[in-house]
Chain A
Amino acid sequence: AQSVTQLGSHVSVSEGALVLLRCNYSSSVPPYLFWYVQYPNQGLQLLLKYTSAATLVKGINGFEAEFKKSETSFHLTKPSAHMSDAAEYFCAVSQEYGNKLVFGAGTILRVKS
């Protein structure tokens, strides 16, 4: 069965600092991997996705993630945090095209001024 582990339910960074949100997955086949973001009182918005093309994926708002098969990881990074990045971030995996998503528990990102 697939599973997703997000290390750290809360992450706090200073404005301008590096953002690193960790995601490890388990899957018996090469997966589809996604990062979604939820801003307060809004729905989930896709940040980026990995679909077996380039292992370094660039998304919206300056975020990127690198698929590392050997480490079964798909960590999300942004070089410089902005106050507007404060939100909850979810990593998700799908084992088959179009199949259900299995989510991690989410990481709340706090950005300090």
Chain B
Amino acid sequence: EAGVTQFPSHSVIEKGQTVTLRCDPISGHDNLYWYRRVMGKEIKFLLHFVKESKQDESGMPNNRFLAERTGGTYSTLKVQPAELEDSGVYFCASRPGTSGGQETQYFGPGTRLLVL
């Protein structure tokens, strides 16, 4: 079974440009999460999808960030326009449905974003 995949693995852009990150969850996982780790800080939650619906987007920093999950499969996270403070590692995680014993979130390798 393939794990969570993220693309690209690295991205270097200039301030003001747009970047789109993609996450493919484990097949069949209804829950998809985005997290971010800014250098030197802890990993912080951004948002949570259940299928195609946003369950919790309380961690989204501002309206320059737009997350979508059309069709309830893969998800994209767009940053437009990018600012210097957006640099960091963006992690995606997925989790099965609502049955007991399925608390574990499975993480992808992350996308390393550098805004110059």
Contacts and interface: CB of A to CB of B under 8 A. Distances in A.
Nearest to B33: A100
A105 B42 contact: yes
Contacts, number: 55
A42 B108 CA distance: 8
A98 B99 CA distance: 10
A49 B103 CA distance: 9
Interface string B38-60: 00011111001000000010110
B109 interface: yes
A59 to B, nearest CB: 12
B74 interface: no
Interface string B74-116: 0000000000000000010101001001111111111000000
Contacts of A100: 33, 45, 48, 56, 58-59
Contacts of B95: 98
Interface string B1-43: 0011000000000000000000000000001010100000111
In this complex, the interface size class of chain A, counting residues with CB under 8 Å from chain B, is 20 to 34
A90 B110 CA distance: 15
A87 interface: no
A101 interface: yes
In this complex, the interface size class of chain B, counting residues with CB under 8 Å from chain A, is 20 to 34
Interface string A92-103: 101001111111
Nearest to A46: B104
A101 to B, nearest CB: 6
B105 to A, nearest CB: 6
11 contacts: A4-B42, A42-B109, A46-B104, A94-B103, A98-B95, A98-B98, A98-B102, A100-B59, A101-B33, A103-B43, A105-B42
Given A36-B107, A102-B45, 9 more contacts: A43-B91, A43-B107, A44-B107, A46-B106, A49-B104, A98-B31, A101-B45, A103-B43, A105-B41
Interface of B: 3-4, 31, 33, 35, 41-45, 48, 56, 58-59, 91, 93, 95, 98, 101-110
